[in-house]
A and B are shown apart, each in its own frame.
Chain A
Amino acid sequence: MYLGEKQEKMLSGDRGGAVKKSMEILVGLGDIFGAERLIPIGSAHVSGISMRTSGEAGLNFIEEMVDRGGRVSVPTTINPAGIDLENWRDMGAPKGMSEKQIRMVNAYKELGAEPTCSCVPYLTGNKPSFGEHISWSESSAIVYGNSVLGARTNREGAPSALASAITGLTPEYGYHLKENRRGDIEVIPDTDLFGDGGTFPFSVLGYWIGEQFPESVPVVRNVNPTPPQHKALGAGMAASGAVALYHIPGVTPEVKKDPKVGETGEEIFFGVEEHEQVVDRLDQTSDYDLICVGCPHASVDELRSLSKRTGDREIWACIPRRLRDKLEGTEVFSNLRKSKVKLVCDTCMVVAPLSEMGYDSIAVNSTKAAHYAPSLAGVKVHLASLEEMME
């Protein structure tokens, strides 16, 4: 790989230990994937924040990066933590883990990252423009950034996204190159499935696509999703498969600009039967202690539909703290309070220690949550649409 003079110096340690280690990661990856050079990025988004996923190992690595003088050089946001950083005591999160979690977020603050603690960076001020190169981890955000915003990122892991945040660089290969961004399979869904305007059928469709074509760039026909529906579609694909990008002809920006990107020649149908197969496989129980929405983190539009709910089952809406702060004092906020919807910030049902907090089972309307919550949060899952859960 070719490195400029300044980059050679960064690699040899002239700008400190954290930059050197970061350059070693990026050059190592670039060599493996045949990148010719490192290119500048506009922003970074780093996953692996929750102590539930990164553990002591992640905490020690991040604190060592701080000790080595690490500092981000581009706008950087971070993924959800394992606890609501302000209300963890009231919510019954374990003390030892919570204290370490706070140390982890503080270490990221010292590195100069914005402590957004959310998986939807594009809703918390980190919104890249069309064609911009970025280095993001968090699989659902990667798909949204590539597909809906037309930015360019590979499926980075937590350490490589952090290395890019510190250096402002990423190796140029994979989805940074136009030739790798063309669709290669066309999915024709039965449009009757999407009648009610909710996110659920999109989440199921995404999960099915990721399972069937885990390494693909799918082209989805005949749909025009709302932003929350896009979010659900991409999160599903990236949970069951390694999908980083999809196109919707006439809708997503890259294929709008160049319709050839969406021509693949191979078509496959998604109907009621496929939909039911996915739900049957992920749905483990009809009994549940808690309803959780917001995987990925919910937006204002999704909160509006919750604010009208009746019934008194415990319900969490997992959202970015910045969204909560913005909503405080509005009508939506007071309606949510009246409807007894608990706004849970900084964390979510996948990365919080739910089993240790006394929950056995949860109901979710997200295939991604249904995929990960049993192993990560230690709970059983009921998977259904929001409407069905509210009945």
Chain B
Amino acid sequence: MIIRGEVVVEGEAEGVALVSEEPISFLGGIDPETGEVVEKGHQLEGESVGDKVLVFPHGKGSTVGSYVLYQLARNGKAPVAIINRSAEPIVAVGAIIAEIPMLHRFEMDPTELIGNGEVVKISGENVIVEK
């Protein structure tokens, strides 16, 4: 399956999808040292975002969350790519400064189209999902 979105940060990437239907707060929600989701009660609590294609609707919380993405990248614990339903400034700026390929605004909701654990490849504005 190939779905097409708009590019926020250009790049090629491939990885296993980690999908959340809930928004993610990077400040306080993800440990910048380990990449683990630490927000209590979050759907992805206990999972690691490192080396995953992270699929979620959009970010939430403090704008300082952008720095957390940057720190994850420095620690080698960042997602290899980010796929959002609709980008907002926290995650978009974080992906830009951390140089993580990022896409958003697909014809259909990517959090429904992409299944957890599926292998996803990002190329330009295309997302190729191996079903």
A25, B97: Cβ atoms closer than 8 Å: yes
B97, A159: Cβ atoms closer than 8 Å: yes
Which of A21, A47, A54, A55 makes the CB contact (< 8 A) with B97?
A: A21
Residues of chain A within 8 A (CB-CB) of B87 are: 32
Residue A228 interfacial (CB < 8 Å): no
A57, B63: Cβ atoms closer than 8 Å: no
Residue A77 interfacial (CB < 8 Å): no
Which of A28, A60, A158, A375 makes the CB contact (< 8 A) with B63?
A: A158
A53, B64: Cβ atoms closer than 8 Å: yes
How many Cβ-Cβ contacts under 8 Å join chain A to chain B?
74
Give residues of chain B (66-107) contacting chain A, Cβ–Cβ below 8 Å. 66-68, 70-71, 74, 87-90, 92-93, 96-97, 104
A25, B93: Cβ atoms closer than 8 Å: yes
Chain A at the B interface: mostly helix, strand, loop or mixed? helix
Question: Which of B62, B64, B70 has its CB near the most chain A CB atoms (within 10 A)?
Answer: B64
- Interface size class, chain A: 20 to 34
A25, B70: Cβ atoms closer than 8 Å: no
Shortest beta-carbon distance from A25 to chain B in Å: 5
Bitwise, B5-21 to A at CB < 8 A (1) or not (0) is: 00011000000000000
- Interface size class, chain B: 20 to 34
Residues of chain A within 8 A (CB-CB) of B29 are: none
Residues of chain A within 8 A (CB-CB) of B90 are: 157
Shortest beta-carbon distance from A174 to chain B in Å: 11
Given contacts A29-B89, A29-B92, contact A61 B97 (CB under 8 A): yes
Residues of chain A within 8 A (CB-CB) of B62 are: 53
- Across the two chains, which residue of chain B brings its CB closest to A137? B63
Given contacts A28-B9, A53-B64, contact A160 B89 (CB under 8 A): yes
Given contacts A56-B71, A57-B67, A60-B74, contact A28 B96 (CB under 8 A): yes
Apart from A53-B27, A57-B32, A61-B70, what 11 extra A-B contacts exist at CB < 8 Å?
Answer: A21-B97, A24-B96, A25-B96, A25-B97, A32-B8, A32-B89, A48-B64, A55-B68, A137-B63, A156-B63, A159-B63
10 tightest A-B contacts by CB? A157-B63, A57-B71, A57-B67, A58-B67, A48-B64, A28-B96, A159-B93, A159-B66, A53-B64, A24-B96
